[in-house]
Amino acid sequence: MKFTRRALRGIAAAGLLAGAAVLLPGCSHTTGSTTTAMTQRNTAFGPVIGNDDSAGTGTLSWKGVPFAGAPVGALRWKAPVDPQSWNTARPATAFAPACVQTGRLYGPGLNNRYDATIGSTLGQTLGSEDCLYLNVWAPAAPTATPRPVIVWVHGGSNITGYTADPVYDGAKLARSADAVVVSVNYRLGIFGFLNLAQLKPGNPADDSGNFALLDLVKALEFVQRNIASFGGDPGRVTLMGQSAGAVNVYALMTSPMLAGKSPQLFHRVAALSGGLSTAASLPPGSIPGVLPQAVWATRGQALLTQSLIADGTAADDAAAKAYLAGRTAQQVADYLRGKSADALLTTVRTRLTPLGMAASNPIPDGMVVAADPIAAVRAGRYVKAPLLAGSTRDETKLFPQLFAIRPNLGGVSGRLLDDAAVFSLAFKYIPEGPPSTRVEEWIPAAYLPVGTPATGFNARAQELNRIWFMAIRDDMLAALRQQQSPAWLYEFDWDELPKPFDDIFGAAHAFDLPFVFGNFGSSLFSNISFTQANAPGRVALSGAMMASLGAFARNGDPNHAALGTAWQPWPARIVFDATPEAARIAPR
């Protein structure tokens, strides 16, 4: 891009105007270089120039803003550090790369976006270790006061995901909620969570192994220092996450490192479809959200041992153990840091996955993550903040493979198609055409008809939901209720998908997210979900949900007049649903 001398003088002067621009983020709607100058904002590390889409979405945006230095080399498996400062205005107009990960159905394609290449990246290494960047959307319209802030933490089992996912675009939510929306990259998989003795130098943060959570803390600190320059109120920050993102949000809410910290890094919590309970706090047979620290130590040691075997340094476990006995902790750390991300992830895929050791999640170290988060809440040792929890009626229809983990769930997988087949069908599906697939192609005969009591697909999914998502959700809500912290719950019941997907997925896990963000364009499940016929109802429902999130971000209460009913705190809930023609919102 070329700048005139006049424009360059404008850019240089923009720092002087930044204070005025805080409350008037859309003070210029012209095109060309003046608009470029007027999207400049100063951060503690240097100025950034964003996009003016006031004529389209009604927002301004800044993408790929660094909040930490690249966690590479000696900084791999270290707490994040500040980014290097810069003086020249930095373009912030495109998403930064996704954090390095193995390609999955829920990850990016080769171009860091949702496209056809996702089908060819499944099981392959993609993304970058240099990934600690965030994105900001703000309404372009002037405001008399700073706007509340919503910080989004994506899901993906803590092993996959990317802020460039089109579902997570923050423009519509920012405008509808009248808020500043921030989305954050954080380290994933073994790069985000690793418990290994040889990587513990003796300081509590690094020793925790919870590098992903430390990334999120670093991003929240960036928000506190800089969000006023983008029109946001650092005193009204909502930390919102879904699935693994909700797990991470709860981990920070109950973190001993943050409990009692003043000023608080966040002031409301929105946790959608997640929980953080140990087995001890749940009813028998439930699936916990927190595993003991020793489990993660075993998995960390397995990564080291299997890496030595994979590269030929050791022939087997015994040889690896003998080899390590003659090495210092620093030598082991240097060995692992010297390996490429692809080599490490290949070891995870080919060696740890068959051993059942490929998962990643918060490690209860007692400093970053509470040893027992529910006990911490019951004792009042958590970040005091109103909570908005969300769940979908059919969470586990996204994971019917897990019917195989227990005989009382059926004992065999509930999905006949692998991820490659699911992606191919979903990507090419024509939503306005006649059904071109059948339930029988997706669901084993043992679970059909889907509505069969006790043994049908619906019943098995509900039982898995009961012992998993509902158990960890209600455990946290009950603990918070003892502390008299205000908490609200929604249940998402929308299932107006075209047949047969209303049975296959229904109101599945993550199917509420397009409604939360107002994004019904091309994305993973859009072609099998959204039709012209169901547009009026879903758009109306999305508007109500975004307005509730905006109300919650402003004042800690999701009630607003457009709901048409009072949303009472938990254990009551509100049900978000719609017919094809209109929203259908009611208490339950």
User: Which tens digit of pLDDT belongs to each residue from 246-287?
Assistant: 999 999 999 999 998 999 999 999 999 999 999 999 999 999
Buried b (16+ CB within 10 A) or exposed e, 38-47: bbbbbbebbb
At 372-392, the pLDDT tens digits run 999 999 999 999 999 999 999
At 284-306, the pLDDT tens digits run 999 999 999 999 999 999 999 99
Task: Give me the pLDDT at residue 10, please.
Answer: 36
SS (H, E, C) 421-482: HHHHHHHHCCCCCCCCCCHHHCCCHHHCCCCCCCCCHHHHHHHHHHHCHHHHHHHHHHHHHH
36 band by pLDDT with thresholds 50, 70 and 90: low
Distance CA 544, CA 561 (A): 10
Task: Give me the pLDDT at residue 37, please.
Answer: 73
Contacts of 328 (CB under 8 A, 6+ apart): none
**Which among 160, 155, 35 is positioned nearest to 105, based on CA atoms?**
160
Task: Give me the pLDDT at residue 484, please.
Answer: 80
308-317: long-range contacts at Cβ-Cβ below 8 A with a sequence spacing of 24 or more? Answer: 309/351, 310/343, 310/346, 310/347, 310/350, 310/351, 311/339, 311/343
Percent of the chain predicted with pLDDT > 70: 94
At 513-540, the pLDDT tens digits run 999 999 999 999 999 999 999 999 999 9
The domains located in the chain, with CATH, are 46-279 (3.40.50.1820), 386-587 (no CATH)
421: number of Cβ within 10 Å: 14
Task: Give me the pLDDT at residue 18, please.
Answer: 35
55: number of Cβ within 10 Å: 10
- Summarize the confidence of residues 46-65 as an average pLDDT: 97
Task: Give me the pLDDT at residue 11, please.
Answer: 33
Instruction: Read off the tokens for 33.
Output: 């270089």
Does residue 404 surpass a pLDDT of 90?
A: yes
Q: How open is the CA angle 335-337-343, to the nearest 5 degrees?
A: 85
Whose tokens are 């009611």? That residue is 586
Percent of the chain predicted with pLDDT > 90: 92
**Which among 148, 156, 369, 167 is positioned nearest to 266, based on CA atoms?**
148
Does residue 57 surpass a pLDDT of 80?
A: yes
300: number of Cβ within 10 Å: 21
At 572-585, the pLDDT tens digits run 999 999 999 999 99
Instruction: Read off the tokens for 34.
Output: 């003046």
Does residue 369 surpass a pLDDT of 60?
A: yes
38 band by pLDDT with thresholds 50, 70 and 90: confident
Task: Give me the pLDDT at residue 485, please.
Answer: 77
| Set 176, 243, 286, 360: catalytic member | 243
229 band by pLDDT with thresholds 50, 70 and 90: very high
Task: Give me the pLDDT at residue 1, please.
Answer: 37
At 18-35, the pLDDT tens digits run 333 333 343 433 333 334
Q: Where are the beta strands (DSSP E) in 111-208?
A: 125-126, 133-139, 147-153, 180-184
Does residue 14 surpass a pLDDT of 60?
A: no
Task: Give me the pLDDT at residue 72, please.
Answer: 98
Residue 243 among the catalytic residues: yes
Task: Give me the pLDDT at residue 104, please.
Answer: 97
Packing angle of the helix pair 457-467, 469-482 (nearest 10 deg): 40
